[in-house]
Structure 1
């Protein structure tokens, strides 16, 4: 059974300023989750932290992406850390940060073998940079990880693609816009919108993914959880709010199937902004739900 190691990547490099002159607060998420007892509930054997480079709100002229050079440097350092943990047969429980933290992990996965990615998010994060209104890599994370977009970010260490496009499952999007959705519809990734997830049934959708992992004989899969996949009423403290979203019953059911799979090699939590939850009420509920389901279903116990 794998030891759980909490890994803190307190980065906001992939987001635009929350308001002029103010950095996004999501880089304080690991400390915020600590304050609300996630670390205590998960009870990891180790906690590792890698601080991010200095934030800038300037667009890189070459890639049209915010903080592009800093992201390259940070992703390489992240990959080294995650690679070491995977080599030691440990389970990285990663706390972001914004969704761009995926890049470092995806690089490490490519270095280790052929992995799947279950991208649970209220957005696809799969689009060309030309469609981005902000230039934030967080909104491009899934496409960059699968080899799309500027090579500076999609081909770090010459490892493009980090995740094969056909091994990406993007689930939970509710940004219903044809131009946006067609990017992933026209790819070889599997796209399951929030509507489709409910239509298929959560158990069926999870089993389809897990069966595919087995049939392709993948080395494993990584779980990306952007908290904005949750219903806006129970998780409003995110940078891009959208009506609807998963209830905790739906979220917990889906995670229960993924957590108990022996093919799950690690996970990451992104986007919850402490600045938008001053009393901690939404964070506390999230921590309680996530940690309870993880402890119950991950290898039946947490080390």
Structure 2
């Protein structure tokens, strides 16, 4: 059974412009309004409530070196959201976290550290593998979440409560980056699988899903979807749209193949501020309602 957890965080993103805040915090309610929650709940899903983040602060002028934007609030939110995810799992349900920005991958990782050999399938238009070892511009965890999840970031976010790395690098499959992703080569050398969107489309979604599950499987895996994996022709309402992404039909096929075997899933980086008439939210609700409808139905989860 799916349990929907709303996580309206924007803490991991840079300000879109001076004096403003990112709009991803509005995504859960925009998708609710677009019919996603009703669609899933009519098929038996439960509403597991909301985990609210702390206040977004543009701390670029005051943040000390070696710290990410909104660090304290982000860590506090990660711990609380991990607790909610853990409660859902303890009830034998499949958590579906609707974000929010993709810094909430930290929460999923924390929640799964007591799940033996849990892997990660990371669907994203970017590798999100920026970290202090390859960049002097680390600040926004939404572009650094995958590196943090495998332990390659400052300990404050990569080792919360001494529980990192949250996923073993060899058990992580990334699908969807573009060919010019600046961290592709390093991610490819560290993770179990890195497959650009172009290659995934050439191979087909069934073969792509099989390859990802083979790397991340075992005790089940977390499924993280950043919706900028879609080409901006269909989904421009994201922080960093890049051409060369999947079509809606591709994404539905990929999710449909992966979701049944997933322990849980998170959906991130849709920005309703960039979708004033709501039609992109409706499209995304259709994609998610179809692709994730059998989330967790065939998953195997082992505890310590």
TM-score (norm 1): 0.91
Match of 2:302 in 1: none
Map Cα deviations across residues 91-129 of structure 1 (whole Å, 9 max, x no partner).
Answer: 111100000011011111112332111000000001214
- Distance, in Å, in 2 between the alignment partners of 1:132 and 1:86 is 38
**Cα gap change, 1:112 to 1:290, in 2 (>3 Å):** same
Instruction: Specify whether residues 158 and 297 from structure 1 end up closer, same or farther in structure 2 by C-alpha distance, changes over 3 A only.
Output: closer
Larger deviation, residues 244-253 vs 132-141:
132-141
* Contact persistence 1:173–1:229 (CA under 8 A): yes
> TM-score, normalized by length of structure 2?
0.91
Provide the alpha-carbon RMSD of the alignment. 1.8
Which structure 2 residues correspond to residues 255-294 of structure 1 after superposition, within 5 A?
A: 255-261=255-261, 264-294=262-292
- Partners of 2:5 and 2:49 within 8 A in 1: yes
Q: CA deviation at 1:299?
A: 3.5
Give 1:233's aligned residue: 233
Pairwise CA distance, 1:63: 2.5
**Residues 204-243 of structure 1: CA deviation (Å, up to 9, x unaligned):** 12112223445xxx32101111110001111000111111
**CA distance 1:109–1:61, shift in 2 (3 Å):** same
114, 119, 123: which one aligns with 1:116 = 119
Q: Give the Cα–Cα distance (whole angstroms) in 2 for the partners of residues 296 and 190 of structure 1.
A: 24
Structure 1 residue 189 and structure 2 residue 192: aligned?
A: yes
Q: CA deviation at 1:188?
A: 3.4
Cα pair 1:122 1:175 within 8 Å, conserved: no
Q: Structure 1 residues 120 and 42, CA, compared in 2 at 3 Å: closer, same or farther? A: same
Residues 93 and 297 of structure 1, relative CA distance in 2, 3 Å threshold: closer
- What displacement does 1:21 show? 0.4
Corresponding residue for 2:207? 204
Partner residue of 2:55?
A: 54
Give me the whole-angstrom Cα distance separating, in 1, the residues matched to 2:207 and 2:107: 30
Partner of residue 138, structure 1? 142
Native 8 Å contact 1:166 1:188 kept in 2:
yes
Unaligned runs of 5+ in 1: none
Q: Deviation of residue 253 (structure 1)?
A: 1.0
Deviation at 1:160, TM superposition (A): 1.3
Aligned length: 292
| 1:254 alignment counterpart | 254
Distance 1:298 1:74 in 2: 24
Sort the Cα spacing of 1:79 and 1:297 in 2 relative to 1 into closer, same or farther, 3 A.
Answer: closer
Rounded Cα–Cα distance in structure 2 between residues aligned with 1:90 and 1:132: 41
Residue 151 of structure 2 corresponds to which residue in structure 1? 147
Q: What CA distance in whole angstroms lies between the structure 1 residues aligned with 2:295 and 2:103?
A: 27
In the aligned structure 1, how far is the partner of 2:96 from the partner of 2:239?
22
Q: Is the 8 A contact 2:251 2:291 kept in 1?
A: no
The Cα shift of 1:250 comes to: 0.8
Looking at structure 1, the residues matched to 292 and 194 of structure 2 have their Cα atoms a distance apart, in angstroms, of 25
Bigger proportion of residues as helix: 1
Q: Which residue of 1 aligns with 2:93?
A: 90
Take 2:295 and 2:67, find their aligned partners in 1: how far apart are those partners? 42
CA distance 1:297–1:48, shift in 2 (3 Å): closer
What's the offset of the Cα at 1:293? 3.1
CA contact (8 A) 1:16 1:134 kept: no
Separation (CA, whole Å) in 2 of partners of 1:237 and 1:210? 29
Cα distance, 1:37 vs. partner?
Answer: 0.9
Q: Relative to 1, partners in 2 of residues 1:241 and 1:213: Cα closer, same or farther, differing over 3 Å?
A: closer
